[in-house]
């Protein structure tokens, strides 16, 4: 145990056991460099190492991690992970995605700041934090091939998922003295899923009147981010957009090698660099800054804020001194081109010093962000109002399919629409529309009789007897009287 004085308070720091994994490719080198700096700075951590990644995958474990390693991660709760290589093909599941979801690490925080003029960038005043939802969206990995021609990936967005990440973004902005929270979605197209994310953003934004808030459609938002990142501050977004745009943001700030990320859950947390294992990079040439930044976030998270601050400032001092790894080195501008290990030594030699030109960090006021437990609202009134039968049909003519589907109708429950890849092709489709073998055929009550599960069973039985190949069904519900399904495009 050690202590330090913060204002008039005496703060005690306990030795903290953390799990580490050195990973693959450049992983072991950047982890060794990072741990050396942490030790020299006086971090009160004890490490317990586990093996994950390529060798574990290739030994036949498709998850890339053993049960014993899970036990260690869950016991220690804090995990510092170097990047790993996921072998191509062979059904290997991404360990990163699995870890985030198994451990409920719902918030992924990725700060991206330019270090102008010491790191070359077109965006000298960029200072943003991307807060990415980490458990949902297309990363549910629920995919199916449904017909010869069509595959499907399920995009899942939940209210608890949105509420947790959006609230985290506002709390983060408040704690770190940020001014604005921006939301990126594509809710002009995905009105149910991204629409929910945007709606929750608006609801929670209203609870933080001291912070500015805004919403951008992700395509133009991404363009603005790449062009004028200085107009953004904290940006919160669903998983896939956050994954892509945080790499863009790190790269335009100077190098993907500079950015770290924190994956935060209620019980556990994982810290890492945002980049991968860069297996083609030559030895002792990688920039360890991304993992080091992840480790600084970890020290903040476990309350060792004085060590976090000391390391961060020594790192800034090293960068402004022109001691640069290959990714940042510019002849005539940088002072020295160093390898991974020498960069770590340079940071160590700067411990206790502040940057003179770059702004020093001050973590004195940092505390852990604790969100209130998610409170479930009262169940809504859910009313079945129809069904979409998805049909595999190789006839490829919508009018012909409609004629066959008319034969399976039940009195009062009729075919109202057929779409192909979302666009309405019956009634009154365009002959120019390209059709695949995958059709969504909507049946609804046409005389006011309530729709029931029995109707769906009868429609299915009728389809079977008329050789109509139903590949899946999707129930159409209203929630508290509001439609919970999309219209056909052009409907």
Contact with ligand NAD (CB under 6 A): which of 84, 351, 389, 456?
A: 84
DSSP E strands in 86-168: the ranges are 107-113, 127-133, 143-145, 151-153
Q: CB 55 → ligand NAD: shortest distance, Å?
A: 13
Q: Which of 58, 305, 62 is nearest to 175 (CA)?
A: 305
Contact with ligand NAD (CB under 6 A): which of 182, 239, 287, 300?
A: 287
Stretch that binds ligand NAD, among 126-134, 205-213, 282-290, 351-359 (CB under 6 A): 282-290
Binding-site residue total for ligand NAD (CB under 6 A)? 20
Binding-residue pattern over the window 94 to 133 for ligand NAD, x denoting contact by CB under 6 A:
--x-------------------------------------
Q: CB 111 → ligand NAD: shortest distance, Å?
A: 16
Contact with ligand NAD (CB under 6 A): which of 34, 86, 99, 114?
A: 86
Whose tokens are 């940057």? That residue is 355
Q: Interface with ligand NAD includes 286 (CB under 6 A)?
A: yes
Burial of 429 (0-12, 13-18, 19+ CB in 10 A): buried
Q: CB 266 → ligand NAD: shortest distance, Å?
A: 22
Q: CB 361 → ligand NAD: shortest distance, Å?
A: 21
| H-helix or E-strand spanning residue 81 | strand 78-81
Stretch that binds ligand NAD, among 72-80, 238-246, 283-291, 421-429 (CB under 6 A): 283-291
Burial of 73 (0-12, 13-18, 19+ CB in 10 A): buried
Could you give phi then psi for residue 406, rounded to 5 degrees? -60, -30
Contact with ligand NAD (CB under 6 A): which of 64, 257, 386, 488?
A: 257
Q: CB 86 → ligand NAD: shortest distance, Å?
A: 4
Binding-residue pattern over the window 24 to 63 for ligand NAD, x denoting contact by CB under 6 A:
--x-------------------------------------
d(CA 473, CA 468): 13
Contact with ligand NAD (CB under 6 A): which of 244, 281, 410, 470?
A: 281
Q: Interface with ligand NAD includes 275 (CB under 6 A)?
A: yes
Angle between the N-to-C axes of helices 218-227 and 239-253, in degrees from 0 to 180, rounded to the nearest 10: 10
106, 83 Cβ separation under 8 angstroms? no
Q: Interface with ligand NAD includes 19 (CB under 6 A)?
A: no
Q: What residues contact residue 160 under an 8 Å CB cut-off, 6+ apart?
A: 374, 376
d(CA 154, CA 190): 13
CA distances to 78, 401, 467 from 461, rounded to whole Å, are 53, 17, 10
Ranked by CB distance to ligand NAD, the top (closest) residue is: 276
CA distances to 402, 451, 489 from 440, rounded to whole Å, are 11, 18, 12
Chain residues in the site for ligand NAD (CB under 6 A):
26, 83-86, 96, 256-257, 272, 275-281, 286-287, 290, 327
């Amino acid at each position: 145990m050690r202590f330090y004085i913060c204002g008039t308070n005496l703060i005690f720091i306990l030795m903290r056991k953390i799990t580490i994994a050195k990973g693959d490719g450049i992983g072991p080198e950047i982890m060794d460099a990072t741990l050396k700096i942490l030790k020299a700075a006086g971090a009160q951590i004890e490490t317990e190492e586990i093996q994950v990644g390529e060798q574990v995958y290739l030994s036949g474990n498709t998850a890339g991690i053993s049960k014993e390693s899970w036990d260690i991660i869950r016991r220690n709760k804090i995990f510092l992970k170097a990047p790993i290589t996921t072998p191509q093909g062979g059904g290997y599941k991404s360990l990163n995605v699995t870890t985030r979801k198994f451990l409920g690490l719902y918030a992924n925080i990725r700060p991206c700041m330019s270090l102008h003029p010491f790191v070359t960038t077109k965006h000298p005043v960029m200072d943003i934090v991307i807060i990415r939802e980490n458990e949902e969206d297309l990363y549910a990995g629920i995919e199916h091939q449904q017909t010869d021609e069509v595959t499907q990936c399920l995009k899942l967005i939940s209210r608890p998922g949105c509420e947790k990440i959006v609230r985290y973004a506002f709390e983060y902005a408040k704690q770190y003295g940020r001014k604005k929270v921006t939301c990126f979605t594509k809710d002009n197209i995905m009105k149910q899923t991204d629409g929910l994310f945007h709606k929750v953003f608006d609801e929670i934004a209203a609870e933080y009147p001291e912070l500015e808030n805004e919403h951008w459609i992700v395509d133009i938002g991404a363009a603005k981010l790449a062009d004028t990142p200085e107009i953004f501050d904290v940006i919160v977004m669903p998983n896939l957009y956050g994954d892509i745009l945080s790499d863009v943001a790190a790269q335009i700030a100077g190098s993907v090698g500079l950015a770290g990320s924190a994956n935060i859950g209620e019980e556990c947390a994982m810290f890492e660099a945002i980049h991968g294992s860069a297996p083609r990079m030559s030895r002792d040439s990688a920039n360890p800054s991304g993992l080091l930044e992840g480790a600084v976030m970890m020290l903040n998270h476990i309350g060792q804020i004085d060590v976090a601050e000391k390391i961060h400032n020594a790192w800034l001092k090293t960068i402004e001194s022109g001691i640069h790894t290959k990714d940042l080195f510019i002849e005539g501008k940088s002072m020295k081109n160093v390898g991974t290990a020498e960069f770590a030594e340079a940071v160590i030699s700067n411990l206790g010093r502040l940057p003179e030109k770059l702004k020093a960090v001050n973590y004195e006021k940092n505390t852990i962000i604790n969100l209130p437990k998610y409170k479930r609202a009262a169940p809504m009134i859910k009313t079945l109002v129809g069904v979409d039968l998805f049909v595999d049909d190789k006839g490829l003519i919508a009018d012909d399919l409609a004629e066959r589907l008319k034969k399976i109708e039940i009195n009062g429950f009729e075919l109202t629409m057929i779409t192909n890849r979302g666009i309405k092709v019956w009634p009154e489709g365009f002959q120019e529309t390209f059709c695949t073998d995958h059709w969504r055929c909507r049946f609804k009550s046409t005389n006011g009789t309530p729709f029931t599960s029995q109707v769906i069973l009868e429609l299915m039985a009728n389809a079977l007897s008329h050789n109509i190949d139903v590949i899946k069904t999707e129930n159409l519900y209203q929630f508290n009287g509001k439609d919970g399904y999309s219209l056909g495009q052009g409907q």
